[in-house]
A = this chain, B = another copy of it.
Amino acid sequence: MNIGEIARRAGVSRSTVSYALSGNRPVSEATRKRIQSVIDELGYRPNASARALAEGRTRTIGLVIPPASSRLTHMQLDFVGSVVDAAAKADLDVLLSPSGGDHDRSFERLVSESRVDGVILMEIRMEDARVDRLREARMPFVGIGHPANDPGMFWVDVDYAGLIYHCVRHLADLGHRDIALLNRSPELVAAGYGPGHRAREGFMRAVTELGLQGTELLCGDDARCGQECIADLLAGRPEVTALATINEAALPGVQRALQEAGLVIPRDFSLTGVVASQWAEDFRPPLTAADMPSDQMAAQAMALLVEIIRDPSMPAQHILMSPPISLRHSTGAAPAGSHAAIRPVGQPQQPTGGGLS
């Protein structure tokens, strides 16, 4: 069933049906009603491909996600959900493209077959070939994250550097002098993963400015790695009394390692960082942390993208978000001495009641 069928049944021309639907030119109330009733009766909806072809736009946006092989973190998944919701609100559809490698067929279809009106590009690297590709294809896009230096690009990002800086500062205010940063994996950071680099940058700045002792841990994105990392840290640098992290997937492991060492949060050890709010709330005790504002980021990115699509000549905009650090219960005053002294030896299964609640 097509627009011609509707036109015939309503006794009008195809263009009138089209106009009645789009409202792009006045149609008498009588015929509009008649057309509408035929449409309702037959359940007609215009064919999206034909419309896209004629209009020159698809009412669809592309969302480029990391490939599923590299398992997505909660933060990323929250974001995908938020984008889909934001798009739905704007009556836009979302085409998903997994892409990380460079010669990616799905990504190529997206940029060069006019399947979408614009793209949201997740997980931007400091140097990112996909950015060049999108620009070359004149495809409107907004990055989530930003490259090392690209003032002409639209992006939305979280101010990891500033946030981690503030986290460390908060810890220092509580008296901690020896602080660690639990970063993402060595591979990711080596590949130019922005948040990793910027967290490091904020950490180093804080450590330098405040005259602290700083240790950076590069840690894989899962509980096992987190546990190993922290076990190693406690063994090698028992003076450390606090940790800031951007590696939420490692958090369960962090918790276990601290617990097995008999350390109670926040009495013996403080923990903070940047994580999805769900993780912060689910942690035991709830985590003092900057909650990733996925919803807002998605909404902002979507709004930006819609603007660029409407006017591709717009000057670039960058949105650097600094969500407030929610004070929960995982940070506290530094213990009097290093806990190397007070740490019980060889008693791994002590139940921890879990701080202040």
Q: Which residues of A contact B (CB under 8 A)?
A: 43, 45-50, 52-53, 58, 60, 63, 65, 67-69, 71-72, 77-78, 80-82, 84-85, 88, 91, 93-98, 105-106, 108-110, 112-115, 222-224, 252-253, 256, 259-260, 262, 264, 278, 281-282, 284, 349, 351-354
In the complex, the answer to whether A47 meets B256 with C-beta atoms within 8 Å is: no
Given contacts A45-B108, A68-B81, A72-B81, 10 further A-B contacts (CB under 8 A): A43-B112, A47-B113, A71-B81, A81-B98, A91-B105, A93-B97, A94-B95, A222-B282, A259-B351, A260-B353
In the complex, the answer to whether A115 meets B48 with C-beta atoms within 8 Å is: yes
CA distance A72 to B276 in the complex (A): 14
For A227, the closest partner residue in chain B by CB is: B284
Distance in angstroms from A297 CB to nearest chain B CB is 13
Q: Which of B53, B91, B224 is close to A49, meaning CB atoms less than 8 Å apart?
A: B53
Which residues of chain B have C-beta atoms less than 8 A from A109's C-beta?
45, 48, 93
For A92, the closest partner residue in chain B by CB is: B106
In the complex, the answer to whether A284 meets B256 with C-beta atoms within 8 Å is: yes
In the complex, the answer to whether A106 meets B93 with C-beta atoms within 8 Å is: yes
A-B contact list, 15 entries, CB within 8 Å: A48-B113, A49-B50, A49-B114, A68-B84, A84-B97, A88-B98, A88-B105, A91-B105, A93-B109, A95-B95, A224-B281, A224-B282, A253-B282, A256-B354, A260-B351
CA distance A65 to B81 in the complex (A): 10
Which residues of chain B have C-beta atoms less than 8 A from A113's C-beta?
45-48
Distance in angstroms from A303 CB to nearest chain B CB is 17
For A260, the closest partner residue in chain B by CB is: B351
Distance in angstroms from A96 CB to nearest chain B CB is 5
CA distance A253 to B281 in the complex (A): 12
For A264, the closest partner residue in chain B by CB is: B349
CA distance A329 to B46 in the complex (A): 57
- Given contacts A50-B53, A260-B351, are A68 and B96 in contact (CB under 8 A)? no
Of A81, A114, A253, the most chain B CB neighbours within 10 A belong to A81
CA distance A224 to B353 in the complex (A): 15
Distance in angstroms from A259 CB to nearest chain B CB is 6
Which residues of chain B have C-beta atoms less than 8 A from A52's C-beta?
49
In the complex, the answer to whether A49 meets B45 with C-beta atoms within 8 Å is: no
